[in-house]
Structure 1
Amino acid sequence: MRLEWLEDILAIGETGSFSGAAARRRLTQSAFSRRVQQIEDYVGVELFDRSHKPIRLQPTTLAQSEQILVLSSALRQLLVDLRRGERMTSNKVVVACQHSLTTVRLPKILQQLCAQREGLHVRLRSANLDECTGLLLSRQADVAIVYRLPDEASDFNADFLEVITIGADRFIPVFNTPLSQLSGSARQRPDIPYIAYPADVFFGKVMERKILPFLDAGAHHAQKVETALTLAAVEMAAAGIGVAWVPESLARARIAVGDLIDVSSELPACDLQVSAMRLQGSPSMAGTALWSQLLDQ
């Protein structure tokens, strides 16, 4: 039974004539009469009492009129929901992003995208590098935005991935006081406390490859805390717990107000690239819009 047929039956019951129902349904009377005949042929019984003027629903049809109304309303709502769902799907984009980038860089990108694409629905998945890559490869994310080391770009050169560089950053050491103010004995240089990252997260690997091997061998560097969260590392550096190596973009505001000091003149730092990745294939409309926005960064 089609939705239009249910609405035809209700229109006849409400108007009491085929001509009135045809006008309401925006059909010619002849076309409407043919459709009424088609409905009755499909059901196998006469639904209307044509001997009565105005035309009335047959008693059986009248008894089911309330159910017909409920079914008609439910089907109309179903169509609305399906169409809304299709619009939501075409306007939905899932972004996997490393934690520190979620805080600093992504809000501006999304602000620009939402201003250009009305009704956009973004689902943000904040995770470490490996998790972001996993979400992308399992098609649980449309785009991944991550840090990488400039000289390790080959890690992302898989044929099924499309990768673009959308920005640059620096991995710098920050502390709440100049290192010269750390106390030490007359004969020994002071201990330099620092915040470490777990070895299995991206910044832990950066520390292992680009920072720790280049520390002054004549100084003593003491690990105080280990955390996977760069935001926590920033706060601990500001509290004086230890030097934290963090993306410069993440610490810039705290450096500007004097809560943190960039001590990269005394301790090693390294460059970072900000990259966006997506799988080759047929991206969603919203995913394509986001990718175009990233290309303009």
Structure 2
Amino acid sequence: MFEFKWLEDFMSLIELGNFSAAAKSRYVTQSAFSRRIQALELWVGVPLFDRSSYPIGLTEHGNKFVPYAENLLNQIKVTKEDFSLASLKTDNTVRIVCLHSFAINLLPNLLAQFNNQLSHLNISINPSVQGIDNHFQTLLDDSSDLLFTYNMIGMRPSISLENKLEKHILFKEKIIPVISPDLLKNHEDNTPWPLLSYSEHTFLYKVVNQLTKSISVPFSQVFETTLSESLIEMAINGIGVAWVPMHAVEKELIKGTLVTAFTEYSDWTIQLDVVCYHSKANSRPAVLQFLEEIHSLKN
């Protein structure tokens, strides 16, 4: 699927002449930037850059592609300005990008606490954007107003981007081990606990894996996924023990379909700060009011 940001990547690489500088200017890692350039070349069907030269140069096909890229970017800019610039000043929509589990549980629970304070706002939540670099990019290109995420290594903006964003620390989230009552009761002593794990490329995998590798209790991984919701369903069905966000299992803990595992080890509960980012350039009244209410709830 073609993405217009590839065209901006293309023009940035032409201007700066090397992948490292271009990636920095686009606020993404060099590996992510390189993948996006490769995706553009795959979509066009021909190599656009001669990677054997320094600074990197265009191929014959790349030179022919430049006017097309410039024309498309100009049309996109004009279209966006025509349809959004005036309306955003009075628009009551607050656009939020976030993790999938945040959209299902955390944000609905958080918004419910506002009662009628935000009833005149239209809250739009988008959990479909993949990759934290892309999350931050939506704030810069004004396709999102706010980003909700965890304050942890790998989920923070680059140093070059920090001065463009404002961070609000909201509250602490617990990542707790949960298990079905039957599995807890029937698990045999001196045998490994079946572990339901996040996939290796997810952010929660890093913090959970670091913990499970450091404790003395043996685990045997039996399942992995990118989604907390899948881990929770597997845990409910007695397949294993999983570390999941507290906000995602509150109902299950109340109903008793899940219980907290390893209650004798309080330090096996992981605590992470939930934070909200927004662009300093975004001063829309609806966004500022939303942030004001968030702060009042925190205090």
Say whether the 8 Å CA contact 2:234–2:240 is kept in structure 1: yes
Q: State whether structure 2 residue 254 is matched by structure 1 residue 256.
A: yes
The percentage of aligned residue pairs carrying the same residue is 23
Matched pairs, number: 206
Q: Which runs of 5+ in 2 are unaligned?
A: 1-82
CA RMSD of aligned residues (A): 3.0
In the superposition, relative to structure 1, how do residues 114 and 139 fare at CA in structure 2: closer, same or farther (>3 Å)?
A: farther
Residue 244 of structure 1 aligns with which residue? Answer: 242
* In 2: Cα distance, 1:248 partner to 1:270 partner: 10
* In 2: Cα distance, 1:163 partner to 1:144 partner: 9
In the superposition, relative to structure 1, how do residues 142 and 113 fare at CA in structure 2: closer, same or farther (>3 Å)?
A: farther
Q: State whether structure 2 residue 155 is matched by structure 1 residue 146.
A: no
Per-residue deviation, 1:180: 5.7
Residue 167 of structure 1 aligns with which residue? Answer: 171
* In 1: Cα distance, 2:292 partner to 2:204 partner: 28
Mean Cα deviation higher: 223-232 or 101-110: 101-110
Per-residue deviation, 1:136: 2.6
Say whether the 8 Å CA contact 1:148–1:275 is kept in structure 2: yes
In the superposition, relative to structure 1, how do residues 249 and 109 fare at CA in structure 2: closer, same or farther (>3 Å)?
A: closer
Residue 273 of structure 1 aligns with which residue? Answer: 273
* In 2: Cα distance, 1:172 partner to 1:287 partner: 32
Q: TM-score, normalised by structure 2?
A: 0.60
Residue 187 of structure 2 aligns with which residue? Answer: 182
Q: State whether structure 2 residue 293 is matched by structure 1 residue 290.
A: no
Letter in 2 for 1:139: D
In the superposition, relative to structure 1, how do residues 201 and 139 fare at CA in structure 2: closer, same or farther (>3 Å)?
A: farther
Secondary structure of residue in 2 paired with 1:240: coil
Residue 38 of structure 1 aligns with which residue? Answer: none
Q: TM-score, normalised by structure 1?
A: 0.61
Say whether the 8 Å CA contact 1:142–1:283 is kept in structure 2: no
* In 2: Cα distance, 1:196 partner to 1:95 partner: 27
Letter in 1 for 2:188: S
Say whether the 8 Å CA contact 1:113–1:290 is kept in structure 2: no
Where do residues 1-297 of structure 1 align in structure 2 (5 Å cutoff)? 86=87, 90-111=91-112, 115-117=116-118, 119-127=120-128, 130=132, 131-149=134-152, 152=153, 155-156=156-157, 158-177=162-181, 179=184, 181-183=186-188, 189-209=190-210, 211-216=211-216, 219-265=217-263, 268-297=268-297
